[in-house]
């Protein structure tokens, strides 16, 4: 069997491994990583102090080792709070740590009791594990799939808390309890090993959550336009194919608007790029107000946008297009004089992919531009696109 010193060294090594893994996450923009890195360092130091503190002085062996080791799960707790978007006032945590340290000193210098110190340390660790579990549970409304990381963390919190409570009760009521931390007796070795692995396991649980956050952030970045926040070109094609398949199944109509800002380049050239950006965002806020929740506004690139409209026929799409054009036309000052040209097309039975629909909307848009801009054109089978609304 491993000696107790070896167990502390292995636990310290695991904290070092979690530090190395966390280090690669530090610049990914996930909150809580700094606190978890700190927890790994404190865990490493605490385990080494438990193993070798006695060779330095009682102060290192008891007060410093226990306080450093107790700080580690607290830092994990704060890391979890950040990961789950919760603020954590630091003062109560420092107060808690100070009380814990005072308790250890009391049961060292005033009443020298290994049992009391062990119970205090175990109760502290159990409390922090429960607090971490509570943090995760309290945010279950915002849980994203997969559920595995959350189930893993909650199970580990329950195990850690249960293990420490068992250790505290055993120390209080059991028979043949250990009389020192490094005692190589069977149960002591098992409980120390379990306790030593608890911290890295809780950090690994946080890593699962951090990893998921990074995936979600990458997905968001790929599917949204950085400037305006609307769906990206990539998302447009993905959603378009999805809606096309749905329309094929249900037989419901589906329409598309291709919207291009008129003379937008002039805004950039005369008023600067920032004003151009502002106009793009202004346009998006106008359009968003007019859309139903099932409609999707996407930025295809530059000043060209698309509106995907499920369950909408050509007249319905034309009506929305006319509303958008008129609304933006009325906000000329905020829009720096920019107006909209819009091409409208609707899905036909023979469309097997999005390309044909986009092409017809594009032809209509081109016609709107050609005929003087600030107008809406509808696709027309076999003939030129039909104008819906002329500029005033
Ligand atoms: N401010 C800003 N400008 C952009 C952005 N993306 C593309 N542009 C500019 O948008 C302009 C698009 O111009 P065009 O569509 O070619 O021309 P236009 O002036 O809108 O003319 P018409 O479309 O023919 O009415 C170009 O000058 C691009 O540099 C962006 O994110 N922000």
**242 and 191 both lie in a single domain:** no
Which atom of ligand 1 has the smallest separation from the CA of 341?
A: 25
Verify whether ligand 1 is closer than 6 Å to residue 265 (CB atom): yes
Closest among 333, 330, 340 to 373, alpha carbons compared: 340
Verify whether ligand 1 is closer than 6 Å to residue 264 (CB atom): yes
Verify whether ligand 1 is closer than 6 Å to residue 262 (CB atom): yes
- Residue 68: inside a domain: yes
**120 and 249 both lie in a single domain:** no
Looking at 189, 223, 257, the residue that finishes a domain is 223
Give, for ligand 1, the residue of 228, 232, 268, 284 to mutate: max count of ligand atoms closer than 8 Å to Cβ.
268
Q: Is the pLDDT of residue 392 over 50?
A: no
What's the pLDDT at 259? 98
The CA-based angle 78-82-84, given to 5 degrees, is 115
For the stretch 213-240, pLDDT in tens is 899 999 999 999 999 999 999 999 999 9
Verify whether ligand 1 is closer than 6 Å to residue 379 (CB atom): no
| Residue 335 to residue 326: CA distance in whole angstroms | 13
- Residue 290: inside a domain: yes
**122 and 266 both lie in a single domain:** no
Average pLDDT taken over every residue of the chain: 91
For the stretch 309-340, pLDDT in tens is 999 999 999 999 999 999 999 998 999 999 99
| Residue 324 to residue 277: CA distance in whole angstroms | 19
**329 and 282 both lie in a single domain:** yes
Verify whether ligand 1 is closer than 6 Å to residue 268 (CB atom): yes
- Residue 333: inside a domain: yes
- Ligand 1 centre to CA of 265 (Å) is 4
For the stretch 21-62, pLDDT in tens is 999 998 888 899 999 999 999 999 999 999 998 888 888 888
Residue range 126-150: average pLDDT? 88
Looking at 179, 199, 223, the residue that finishes a domain is 223
Verify whether ligand 1 is closer than 6 Å to residue 279 (CB atom): no
173 pLDDT tier (thresholds 50, 70, 90): confident
Eight-state DSSP code of residue 231? B
**153 and 56 both lie in a single domain:** yes
CB-neighbour burial class of residue 96 (10 A; exposed 0-12, middle 13-18, buried 19+): middle
> What's the domain range around 358?
233-389
What's the pLDDT at 140? 79
- Ligand 1 centre to CA of 262 (Å) is 9
Q: Where are the beta strands (DSSP E) in the chain?
A: 254-261, 296-301, 304-310, 340-346, 376-378, 386-389
> What DSSP string runs through 167-219?
HHHHHHH-SS--SSTT---HHHHHHHHHHHHHHHHHHHHHHHHHHHHHHHHHH
pLDDT: is 355 or 187 the higher one?
A: 355
**10 and 33 both lie in a single domain:** yes
Which atom of ligand 1 has the smallest separation from the CA of 269?
A: 27
* Cβ pair 287, 307 in contact under 8 A: yes
Give, for ligand 1, the residue of 224, 226, 264 to mutate: max count of ligand atoms closer than 8 Å to Cβ.
264
Give all strands of the β-sheet with 340-346 in edge-to-edge order. Answer: 296-301, 304-310, 254-261, 340-346, 376-378, 386-389
**59 and 206 both lie in a single domain:** yes
CATH of residue 314's domain is 3.30.70.270
What's the pLDDT at 144? 73
ipTM for this model: 0.96
- Residue 108: inside a domain: yes
146 pLDDT tier (thresholds 50, 70, 90): confident
Looking at 165, 200, 223, the residue that finishes a domain is 223
Give, for ligand 1, the residue of 263, 265, 280, 370 to mutate: max count of ligand atoms closer than 8 Å to Cβ.
265
Structure tokens at 60: 């290192």
**246 and 369 both lie in a single domain:** yes
**354 and 213 both lie in a single domain:** no
CATH of residue 62's domain is 1.20.1070
**200 and 302 both lie in a single domain:** no
Residue range 69-97: average pLDDT? 93
- Ligand 1 centre to CA of 276 (Å) is 8
Specify the number of domains making up the chain: 2
- CA dihedral sign of residues 325, 331, 332, 334: negative
- Residue 228: inside a domain: no
The CA-based angle 205-210-216, given to 5 degrees, is 130
Q: Hey, whose CA ends up nearest to atom 21 of ligand 1?
A: 263
How many other β-carbons are positioned within 10 Å of the β-carbon of residue 372?
12
Structure tokens at 229: 């926040």
Verify whether ligand 1 is closer than 6 Å to residue 88 (CB atom): no
Q: Distance between alpha carbon 359 and the CA centroid of its chain, in Å? A: 37
How many other β-carbons are positioned within 10 Å of the β-carbon of residue 94?
12
Q: Which residues partner with 387 through β-bridges?
A: 377
Residue range 185-202: average pLDDT? 88
**203 and 241 both lie in a single domain:** no
Residue range 131-158: average pLDDT? 88
* Cβ pair 203, 76 in contact under 8 A: yes
pLDDT over 70, % of the chain: 96
Residue range 260-279: average pLDDT? 96
388 pLDDT tier (thresholds 50, 70, 90): low
Q: Is the pLDDT of residue 138 over 50?
A: yes
Check whether the bond before 373 is cis (ω within 30° of 0).
no
What's the pLDDT at 391? 43
What's the pLDDT at 188? 82
What's the pLDDT at 350? 80
**237 and 324 both lie in a single domain:** yes
Eight-state DSSP code of residue 293? T
């Amino acid at each position: 069997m491993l000696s107790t010193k070896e167990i502390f060294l292995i636990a310290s090594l695991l904290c070092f491994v979690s530090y190395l893994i966390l280090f690669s996450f530090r610049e990914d923009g996930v909150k809580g990583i700094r606190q978890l890195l700190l927890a790994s360092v404190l865990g490493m130091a605490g385990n080494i102090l438990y193993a070798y503190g006695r060779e330095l002085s009682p102060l290192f062996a008891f007060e410093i080792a226990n306080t450093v080791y107790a700080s580690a799960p607290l830092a994990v707790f704060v890391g979890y709070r950040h990961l789950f978007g919760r603020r954590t006032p630091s003062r109560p945590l420092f107060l808690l740590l100070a009380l814990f340290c005072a308790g250890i000193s009391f049961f060292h210098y005033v009443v020298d009791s290994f049992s009391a110190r062990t119970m205090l340390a175990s109760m502290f660790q159990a409390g922090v594990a429960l607090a971490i579990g509570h943090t995760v549970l309290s945010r279950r409304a915002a849980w994203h799939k997969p559920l595995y990381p959350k189930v893993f963390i909650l199970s580990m919190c329950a195990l850690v808390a249960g293990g420490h409570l068992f250790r505290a009760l055993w120390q209080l009521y059991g028979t043949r309890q250990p009389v020192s931390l490094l005692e190589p007796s069977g149960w002591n070795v098992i409980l120390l090993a379990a306790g030593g692995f608890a911290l890295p396991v809780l950090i690994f649980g946080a890593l699962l959550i951090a990893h998921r956050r990074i995936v979600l952030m990458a997905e968001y970045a790929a599917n949204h336009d950085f400037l305006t926040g609307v769906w990206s070109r990539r998302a447009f094609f993905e959603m378009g194919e999805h809606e096309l398949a749905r329309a094929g199944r249900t037989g419901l109509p589906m329409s598309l608007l291709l919207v291009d800002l008129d003379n937008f380049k002039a805004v950039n050239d005369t008023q600067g790029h920032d004003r151009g950006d502002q106009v793009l965002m202004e346009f998006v806020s106008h359009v968003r107000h007019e859309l139903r929740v099932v409609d999707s506004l996407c930025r295809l690139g530059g000043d060209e946008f698309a509106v995907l409209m499920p369950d909408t026929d050509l007249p319905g799409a034309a009506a929305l297009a006319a509303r958008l054009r008129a609304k933006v036309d009325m906000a000329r000052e905020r829009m720096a004089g920019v107006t909209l040209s819009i091409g409208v097309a609707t899905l036909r039975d023979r469309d097997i992919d999005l390309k044909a629909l986009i092409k017809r909307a594009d032809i209509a848009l081109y016609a709107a531009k050609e005929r003087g801009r600030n107008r809406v054109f509808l696709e027309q089978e076999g003939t030129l696109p039909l104008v819906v609304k002329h500029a005033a």
